Amino acid sequence: MINYKQEIAKILDDKLVDLSLEEIENMLEIPADSKMGDFAFPCFKLARTLRKAPPLIAKDIVAQLEGNALFEKVEAVNAYVNMFISKEMLLKNTVESTFEMGADFGKSQIGEGKTVVIDYSSPNIAKPFHIGHIRSTVIGNALYKIYDALGYDVVRINHLGDYGTQFGKMICAYRKWGNKEDVEREPIKTLLSYYTKFHEEAEKDPSLDDEARDIFAALENGAKEEVALWQWFRDESLKEFNRVYEMLDISFDSYNGESFYSDKMPAVIQELRDKALLVPSQGTEIVELEQFGLTDAPIVKANGSSLYITRDIAAAIYRKNTYDFYKDIYVVASQQNLHFQQLKKIIELMGYDWADKIEHVPFGLVSLEEGTMSTRHGRVVFLEDVLNHAVDKTREIIKDKGVVTENIDETAAMVGIGAVVFNELSNNRIKDYVFSYDKVLNFDGETGPYVQYTHARALSVLRKAGVEDIDLSKIDYSYLKGEAATNLAMDIYKLPEVIVEAASKNEPSVVTRHVVDLAQSFNKFYHDEHILVENEDEKLAKLALVKAGQIAIKNGLNILGVKAPEKM
Ligand code: ARG
């Protein structure tokens, strides 16, 4: 595919001896108003070396660029050279690239040879997999697909919260008020009720907290009975998590959670001690971070137990040694900003030069329409229920429409789950948002179902046309003159760049928004231009663009972890 910036830089490089290719490329601008061209080159910087007024330089450059096939028009406006690219060339190049690359259109190899570790989802064992977890799970999965599309090796890690004092509480509660049959019948909901009860009782009787702490210490020391209970809770929980991952079609390369690091902690603590970073503080041991504008980080508890951050230090070192990462990304709520700042600082203080490769990718809160949810008080909405509900509602809508007659369940799953995922990725991740079924399942507007429907519409036009294979050598692109066609081609053309941008910001919503633009451009083309016209050549040219659009939309959706049904 033509890389316009590179091509333009190459042309200008011959004329501008003092600037490197890269410098020219970085100076090229994309004007906000398309009346000023597709690309613009500002000449201010050249005034000194060329000893000429910038508007005159612009005029000179224009004179040299005129007649180049890449452009339709080049003009000097004040100190700028405004370049209008040849629309026919853009259309031809875009259609040919999408056809040639197919499912790979949008991908590139800029990350080749580099490994990115992404820690996402990472729910806590024996706690519900609730609507709040959707954010890390879905954003993390989209980031995985984005980095993967750029050729990076990605290691997907589910850092399960399968360790810590909460297991002391859970075991304590189970022993006091629990029974096996209830847990087996309905594991997580039952365990959650014990957990809730524990907190209610502990408010009245704080000695319960001490008891739970001792149980956790026993667990950490490998006490048989405690370990067995813990393992049982973990297994049951994973069953439930995996049901949700299956619905979302999400998988991981590693489920090494917090417990995995329990035997790696003594060495880490020793290392911190050797590096004189551990300071005793009221029976605990901490790393002092106040001089860095952070809060001190407790590393070892009074009873010798480790903490969440201790395990994260061990995990970061383990990941560096195991994967030699280029980036170590954590997709975790912004409530944990301090935790990750502390982690990064401690790794830096330990003398590791890869501390700056640690990247916390935070996101805002989800709340329900009636208020925020809290595991502690037992008011929670299970993600599985949300997904099932979305699928059920979608099934009704699809049945009403009557277009899909076979595999209705499969389509309902793709659309219903796709709707939830797409909605999740629609806004800037850092924003808080309120979850509402009505919004998620709204099939009009800037939603997943709207984009999916556009994709299905494109396929339906192609089916109706009855053209099996489009022979690109026969296409006359001059039939695609209208603005709608150019805009659609431009949006298709931009997909690969958009994916690069999304990775650089760790922001999947960049892709989501572009996919919506793409669908809107497609629909504009579809409505403005009659596609199945009499003239065979014109029809074929239009169908080629329809197919290019369909490929781009499908690939864009897939990058987000959303499926594109063929009929809707
Ligand atoms: N289990 C944690 C939670 O639910 C998230 C863990 C994130 N990953 C990490 N390496 N700290 O809040």
Q: In the structure, what pLDDT confidence band is assigned to residue 91 with cuts at 50, 70 and 90? A: very high
Q: In the structure, what pLDDT confidence band is assigned to residue 14 with cuts at 50, 70 and 90? A: confident
pLDDT of 377 reads 54
Cβ–ligand 1 contact at 159 (below 6 Å): yes
Average pLDDT, the chain: 93
Cβ–ligand 1 contact at 122 (below 6 Å): yes
- pLDDT: is 183 or 314 the higher one? 314
The neighbour count for residue 267, using CB atoms within 10 Å, is: 11
The pairing of beta strand 327-331 with beta strand 358-361: parallel
To the nearest whole percent, how much of the chain has pLDDT over 90? 75
What pTM, to 2 d.p., does this model score? Answer: 0.92
Cβ–ligand 1 contact at 312 (below 6 Å): yes
pLDDT of 85 reads 93
440 alpha carbon to ligand 1 midpoint, in Å? 26
Mutate to test the pocket of ligand 1, among 159, 259, 359 (most ligand atoms within 8 A of CB): 159
Give the separation between CA 343 and CA 164, rounded to whole angstroms: 17
Cβ–ligand 1 contact at 332 (below 6 Å): yes
The minimum-distance atom of ligand 1 relative to the CA of 312 is 10
Q: In the structure, what pLDDT confidence band is assigned to residue 512 with cuts at 50, 70 and 90? A: very high
To the nearest whole percent, how much of the chain has pLDDT over 70? 98
Closest residue by Cα to atom 9, ligand 1, is: 159
The minimum-distance atom of ligand 1 relative to the CA of 160 is 1
Q: Does 375 have pLDDT greater than 70?
A: no
Q: How many CA atoms lie within 13 A of 116 on its CB side?
A: 26
Is 250:266 a contact under the CB 8 Å cutoff? no
160 alpha carbon to ligand 1 midpoint, in Å? 7
Is 248:196 a contact under the CB 8 Å cutoff? no
232 alpha carbon to ligand 1 midpoint, in Å? 21
- Tens of pLDDT, residue by residue over 124-157, are 988 888 887 899 999 999 999 999 999 999 999 9
Closest CA to 120 of 135, 100, 99: 135
184 alpha carbon to ligand 1 midpoint, in Å? 26
Give the separation between CA 372 and CA 434, rounded to whole angstroms: 9
pLDDT of 164 reads 79
186 alpha carbon to ligand 1 midpoint, in Å? 24
Closest residue by Cα to atom 6, ligand 1, is: 122
